[in-house]
Amino acid sequence: MALATIVAAMLLANAAWLVLSTRQRLRERLETSASLFASLATGPVCSAYDAYFDSGYFKFRQVVRDLLATAADVTRLEIVDVEGRVLFDSVRLDDGASGGAPGASPRHLDPVRLDAARRLEPTTIRGRDAEGDTLEIVNPWVEDWGRHRLSVVYHVSYAKLNAEYRRYARATLALTAVSIVLAALFGLALARRLTRPLAGLTEGAREIAQGRFGGRLDVRTGDELQTVAEAFNEMAERLEKTRAERERLIEELERRNAELERFTYTVSHDLRSPLVTVRGFVDLLEKDVAAAAPERVAKDLARIRGATSTMEALLRELLELSRLGRVMNPAERVSLDELARQATALLHERLLAANVRVDIQPGLGFAHGDRIRLLEVFQNLIENAVKFRSGQGEPVVEVGSRPGPGGPVITVRDNGVGIDARYHDRVFALFERLDPRVEGTGVGLALVKRIVEVHGGRVWVESEGAGQGSTFCFSLPVAP
C-alpha cells in the first residue's frame, strides 16, 4: 500500500511538473513568435501608413488585415508617433470616420508607453486586466536614413494559449489518473508474480551459502527476475569454476612442493660433490706439501681448481634458472630464423673444433617474447647436439620447423648418440646427466624447458633409441 501511494504521488507530481513546464514553454513560444512578427511587420505597416493612410485608406486597411491574419495571437496594433499620439488603432479599422481613419482626433499614450515609443529598441510591456495577463510589444520604425518618427504597439492575447493549456492540463490529468489505476493493477499482478521466483532465489542463495554450487534456477518470466536468475546461475557457475580452479591450484602447489623437495635434494647432492672433492684434495695437498712433492702438489691444485670451477658453473646456471619468470626482458616480435643464425655464430668456434655442420631451414617464423632468453634456447639445444655427437660420420645439426596442432613446431635434429625412450622426460630434469663422461652441469636442458614454458610453449624430445639421433622440438605462441 505504501509503495502504491508513493507511485501515485510521483505520478501526480510528474503530471503537475509537466503541466507547469508546458505552460511556460507555450508562453515563451507565443512571446517569441509575437516578437518576431512585430520586428517583421513594423516596416510594412509604417510604410503603408505613410503611403496610403491619407491617400488610399482602403489599401492601407487591406495591408493591416493581411498582416493581422498571419498572427492569430496579435489581436490589435496601434501606430503612434514619438510625441505619444495614437495615429491609428486597428480596433477601429473599419470605422473610417472616427479614430482609426483620417481626420479623427488622436488620443495620447500614457507615460510608460510614451517612453517605450521613443526608444530605438523593441520594448515588452506586461500587465493584467480583467481577463488575465496582457502583453504589449512596442517596436520602433527607424527609416533608412536613421529618422525615428513612428512606432507600432502590438497587443498580444493569451486567450488561445490559455485554452490550449487547459486542454493539455485536462488530458494530462486524465492520463495520470489512468496511469495510477494501471500501475495499481500492475503492482498487484507483479506482487503475485514475484513470490515464487523470489522464493527460488532465496533457496538458491541458501544452497550457495552451504557450499553447494550445482543447483540452478529455472525462471522464465521474461523480465528483470529472469535476468536476476540468469545472473544468479552465472554466479553459481563462476563459483563452481573458482572452486575447481582452487583445487587445481592446490594440486599444482603440492606438485611444486614435491618438485622443490626433489630440487633441494638434487642441489644439495650436486653441490656437495665438488666440496667433497675440494676437501679430499686439500688433505692430499697437505701431505704432498709435507713430503715436498711439487708435481703432486700441482696436480692437487689443478683438481681443487677444477672442482671450484664446477661449483661456480653450477651456481651460475642455478641463478639463471631461478631468475626465469621473475626477471625478463621486454617482449618483442622475434625472428626465429635470425635467432638460429645468431646462436650458430656464437658457437662458431666450438662447432669448428668439433667439425659439426649446422643447417638452418628458412621460414622458421616469428615469436613474441624475450629475445635473449629465446636465443639461449637455440644455443643450448645446438650445444647439446654437439656434446652428444656419435663420432661416426660427419656430425650434422638441422634446425627446421613443421606444422603442429597449435602452430609451427621448431625442431633441432642431430645424428648423434640418440636417447632411449625411457629417458625422454628425464633429460629435462635439473642436474640430469645421462652420460657422466660428457662435460656439462645438467642444467642446460632444464633451462630450455623453463624458458619455453615461461613463454607459454612446450618442449619435448623424439628419438628412436641409441645411435638413432635425437630431435628436440618446441612450440611457441605465434607472434601477432
Q: How far apart are the first and last CA of the chain?
A: 62
**How far, rounded to the nearest angstrom, does the alpha carbon of residue 145 sit from its chain's CA centroid?**
64
Q: Write down the pLDDT at residue 325.
A: 47
pTM of model > 0.85: no
- CA-based nearest residue to 391, from 430, 355, 347, 441: 355
Which are the contacts of 428, defined by CB distance < 8 A and separation ≥ 6?
445, 446, 448, 449, 459, 461
What stretches of 333-397 show up as alpha helix (H) in DSSP?
336-346, 348-354, 371-387
HSE on the CB side for 205, CA within 13 Å?
Answer: 9
Q: Write down the pLDDT at residue 397.
A: 92
Task: Using the structure block, give the residue that is written with the C-alpha cell 635439473.
Answer: 430
What stretches of 291-346 show up as alpha helix (H) in DSSP?
294-323, 336-346
**pLDDT tens track, the chain, 480 positions:** 555 577 667 777 777 787 778 888 888 888 898 889 888 989 899 988 888 887 778 888 888 888 888 888 898 899 999 998 999 988 887 765 334 444 456 788 999 988 988 998 999 998 888 778 889 999 999 887 878 889 999 999 888 888 888 888 888 888 888 888 877 777 676 666 655 666 666 666 666 666 665 666 666 666 666 676 667 777 777 777 777 788 888 877 776 665 555 555 555 545 555 666 666 667 666 676 777 667 776 776 776 776 676 666 556 655 555 554 444 678 889 999 999 999 999 988 888 888 889 999 999 989 988 888 899 899 989 988 888 887 677 889 999 999 888 788 999 999 888 888 887 877 887 655 555 555 555 677 888 888 898 888 999 999 888 878 899 999 988 776
> How far is residue 328 from each of residues 320, 332, 340, measured CA to CA in Å?
11, 12, 20
Q: Residue 155: which H helix or E strand, with range? A: strand 148-156
Is-contact 77 90, C-beta < 8 A?
Answer: yes
Indicate the DSSP class of residue 324. Answer: T
> How far is residue 189 from each of residues 109, 194, 200, 438, measured CA to CA in Å?
68, 9, 18, 85
Q: How many residues does the chain have?
A: 480
Q: Write down the pLDDT at residue 307.
A: 63
Strand-strand pairing, 107-108 and 123-129 = unpaired
Q: Write down the pLDDT at residue 104.
A: 52
| Structural domains of the chain in order of their starting residue, each with its CATH number | 2-164 (3.30.450.20), 330-475 (3.30.565.10)
Residue 42 grid coordinates? 513594423
How far is the C-alpha of 180 from the C-alpha of 14, rounded, in Å? 12
Please provide residue 267's backbone torsions phi and psi, each rounded to the nearest 5 degrees. Answer: -60, -45
Name the maximum alpha-carbon separation found in the chain.
Answer: 158
How far is the C-alpha of 277 from the C-alpha of 285, rounded, in Å? 12
How far is the C-alpha of 360 from the C-alpha of 362, rounded, in Å? 6
